Chain A
Amino acid sequence: MQISPILSALRHHKAGTALIAMQIALTLAIVCNTLFIIQQRVAHLSRPSGIDEAHLLRIQNQWVGQHGDYAPLLAADLATLRHVPGVVDAYATNSVPLSGGGWSTGLGLKPSQNGPTAMTAIYFADDHTLPTLGVKLVAGRNFRADEISDMPALSKPTPPFVIITRALASKLYPHGDALGKSVYVAPDKPSTIIGVVRRLQAPWTGNFAASFSDNSTLVPFRLITNGTNFVLRVRTGQMGNVMRTAPKALYAANRMRVIPDDDGVMPFSAIRAKAYASDRGMAILMAVICVMLLAITAAGIVGLTSFWVGQRRKQIGVRRALGATRGDILSYFLTENLLIGMGGVLLGIALAIGLNLWMVTRFEMQHLSLWYVLAGAVALLLLGQGAVFAPALRASRVPPVEATRSV
């Protein structure tokens, strides 16, 4: 290998060499950390909610001009919806996963406990909830119809039974024996855990519920207010039809209501897209920045190498005259770039780790996986080799007779 003469020659081009190495180092540091953040965002927005989103539809209903007892109206609406062609099942609730709004509370294991054992989202549910959502019970049983009671707005829930998610059960009872145990939703009255479901995500996708996003508690209540969320389970291929016919059926049953035009009827695919719009947007923005940074670095390498090839045309001719093959010249420029790239990458690894440590302390970011740094380093070296290839190929085509031409 001709490493030592290349290094020796590079010492005569310190400024250009240092600039490219620095550019590679900074690119590596920024791209590694950015890709790590993107990966975290993608993992965040790809997190399963635990419900059968493909078959679910939410309808927001607001009564107008009605006063007093909403319970019979709610019961009538549920009966109407369950008879809409294409609807498998339906229930009414205060909130749904990913919707961004709902109730949360702290759960204790003792009466009037000082500080909660775990935070949880509260979902109002009935005996139709689990079959409608497609949430899987892993222990215990579902609510029975006779266990569901009406709960007017602004009253405090003190459910006799609850169904909780496995994540919450593990948090409350780490030994796996939550079923049949008590938990305090209200400060002074225990609720018995009668079922454990595999997964049911909280309504919030942002930082607010980051620490308890998989902690959900189903309480056997019908929320009796003038505003309700209906969740419908729809047969495969019937989503479009039901989105049109279900609101019509509700209006036909009672016109004294408002179902918002824009987001009153939403399939869960749309609810998910809306919930993670900012995460997706940020991930795309960061990816674009990464691509631009890589493109700028590649352009820098192409530019500098092209300049060097032009500057060293005569020298390349001399090398060819002295016996260098085209392959030797190509290899010379590729090796030269690899050496600069390796210098930049070594510096970049230190910068990437340093930048991550700074973000860990300032923004509570996770520690950067070393695999990202190593993969980034290899990618940057390959990018460098790719970028230098065209000018290096041009250099290899400089004819040996160039040695005899005056500059």
Chain B
Amino acid sequence: MLKMNHLSKVYRTEVVETYALRDFNIDVKEGEFVAVTGPSGSGKTTFLTIAGLLETFSGGEYHLDGIEVSQLNDNARSKIRNEKIGFIFQAFNLIPDLNVYDNIEVPLRYRGMKGAERKQRIMDSLERVGLSSRAKHYPAELSGGQQQRVAIARALAGSPRLLLADEPTGNLDTQMARGVLELIEDIHRDGATIVMVTHDPELAARAQRNVHIIDGQVVDLSEEPRFHSHPEETTQSQR
């Protein structure tokens, strides 16, 4: 689903070159749930933004769902983001001027979907995240957990093949975080590939596979998929 070979990302200024990713290799299979961990500044978010086609890379190859993306133009990248990828951000990234319904509708409108289908998908996804009654509410009227569930509903409505989550529970308390994680696991069970960047070892342990990034490189890439069951066990194996 997502394969990067010898990928690099360099930020250049007049005096210095900084490698955010260097000789970066990863292969995420279709339907996998991968947690990406690593210390601050290690390149986790850079990896996620490149994986989500939010940013270009400097060298190497990146195949997304079999497509080499480096040659794609801006419109083609937008289309892939819209149709194949769902995003869940730490800061929720809902549009404050739009109500819940309109927020979820945004990517569907860019897809050119008909009104009736949009409505059906929005209502279905809202029901799935348990916020059907909040369709007309604005983000500011919702709690953090509810906002993140709206963001998940927005991603869900587009039926993405790949869900990219950047610290999805970073701004939530434990109880809300648990609810959000259960939703992500639910989406995974439905067949979506999940790549989740997190600081939280407990969260990472819920993934099938952990990828650890240090200084822009994958340092520990377990080839054997592990099916999650007991957080304690995965936490231990990570140590």
Residues on A facing B (Cβ under 8 Å): 2, 4-5, 8-9, 11-13, 314-315, 318-328, 399-401, 403-404, 406
* Besides the known contacts A4-B102, A8-B97, 10 further A-B residue pairs in the complex with CB atoms under 8 A apart: A8-B98, A11-B97, A319-B110, A322-B110, A323-B83, A400-B55, A403-B54, A403-B89, A403-B93, A404-B166
State whether A2 touches B109 (Cβ < 8 A): yes
State whether A325 touches B95 (Cβ < 8 A): no
Query: With A5-B105, A12-B96, A400-B54 given, is the CB distance from A406 to B81 under 8 Å?
Result: no
Residue contacts A-B, CB under 8 angstroms, 10 given: A5-B98, A8-B99, A9-B97, A324-B78, A325-B79, A326-B75, A400-B78, A403-B93, A404-B48, A404-B166
A-B contact count (CB 8 A): 86
Give bound CA distance, A322 to B92, whole Å: 13
* Any A CB within 8 A of the CB of B28: no
Query: With A5-B105, A400-B81 given, is the CB distance from A324 to B110 under 8 Å?
Result: yes
* Any A CB within 8 A of the CB of B193: no
Q: What's the least CB distance linking A6 to chain B, in Å?
A: 9
Q: List A contacts of B52 (CB < 8 A).
A: 321
Chain B 51-91 interface 0/1 with A at a Cβ cutoff of 8 Å (1 = within): 01111000000000000000000110011011100010101
State whether B91 touches A406 (Cβ < 8 A): yes
* Any A CB within 8 A of the CB of B43: no
* Any A CB within 8 A of the CB of B154: yes
State whether A322 touches B82 (Cβ < 8 A): yes
Of the candidates A5, A13, A321, A322, the one whose C-beta lies within 8 Å of that of B102 is A5
Q: List A contacts of B99 (CB < 8 A).
A: 8
* Any A CB within 8 A of the CB of B107: yes
Of the candidates A5, A318, A404, the one whose C-beta lies within 8 Å of that of B45 is A404
Give bound CA distance, A260 to B106, whole Å: 80
State whether A318 touches B78 (Cβ < 8 A): no
State whether A404 touches B54 (Cβ < 8 A): yes
Give bound CA distance, A401 to B49, whole Å: 7
Query: With A5-B105, A321-B52 given, is the CB distance from A403 to B87 under 8 Å?
Result: yes
Query: Chain B: which residue is nearest A9 at the CB level?
Result: B97
Give bound CA distance, A328 to B96, whole Å: 19
Q: What's the least CB distance linking B220 to chain A, in Å?
A: 24
State whether B93 touches A12 (Cβ < 8 A): no
Q: List B contacts of A11 (CB < 8 A).
A: 97
Q: List A contacts of B87 (CB < 8 A).
A: 321-322, 403
Q: List B contacts of A315 (CB < 8 A).
A: 95-97
Give bound CA distance, A314 to B110, whole Å: 18
Of the candidates A5, A327, A399, the one whose C-beta lies within 8 Å of that of B55 is A399
Give bound CA distance, A318 to B81, whole Å: 11
Of the candidates A4, A319, A325, A404, the one whose C-beta lies within 8 Å of that of B75 is A325
Q: List A contacts of B102 (CB < 8 A).
A: 4-5, 8
State whether B55 touches A323 (Cβ < 8 A): no
* Any A CB within 8 A of the CB of B111: yes
State whether B109 touches A325 (Cβ < 8 A): no
Q: What's the least CB distance linking B111 to chain A, in Å?
A: 7
State whether B107 touches A323 (Cβ < 8 A): yes
State whether B106 touches A321 (Cβ < 8 A): no
State whether B110 touches A323 (Cβ < 8 A): yes
Q: Which of B155-190 contact A (CB under 8 A)?
A: 166
State whether B107 touches A322 (Cβ < 8 A): yes
State whether B53 touches A400 (Cβ < 8 A): yes
State whether A12 touches B78 (Cβ < 8 A): no
Give bound CA distance, A57 to B81, whole Å: 79
Query: Chain A: which residue is nearest B92 at the CB level?
Result: A318
State whether A401 touches B54 (Cβ < 8 A): yes
Query: Chain A: which residue is nearest B86 at the CB level?
Result: A322
State whether A318 touches B98 (Cβ < 8 A): no
Query: Chain B: which residue is nearest A2 at the CB level?
Result: B109
Give bound CA distance, A37 to B91, whole Å: 57
Q: Which of B181-215 contact A (CB under 8 A)?
A: none
State whether B98 touches A321 (Cβ < 8 A): no
Give bound CA distance, A350 to B103, whole Å: 36
Of the candidates A9, A314, A322, the one whose C-beta lies within 8 Å of that of B81 is A322
Give bound CA distance, A404 to B44, whole Å: 12
Give bound CA distance, A70 to B100, whole Å: 98
State whether B54 touches A323 (Cβ < 8 A): no
Give bound CA distance, A326 to B87, whole Å: 19
Q: What's the least CB distance linking A57 to chain B, in Å?
A: 70
Q: What's the least CB distance linking B154 to chain A, in Å?
A: 7
Q: What's the least CB distance linking B58 to chain A, in Å?
A: 14
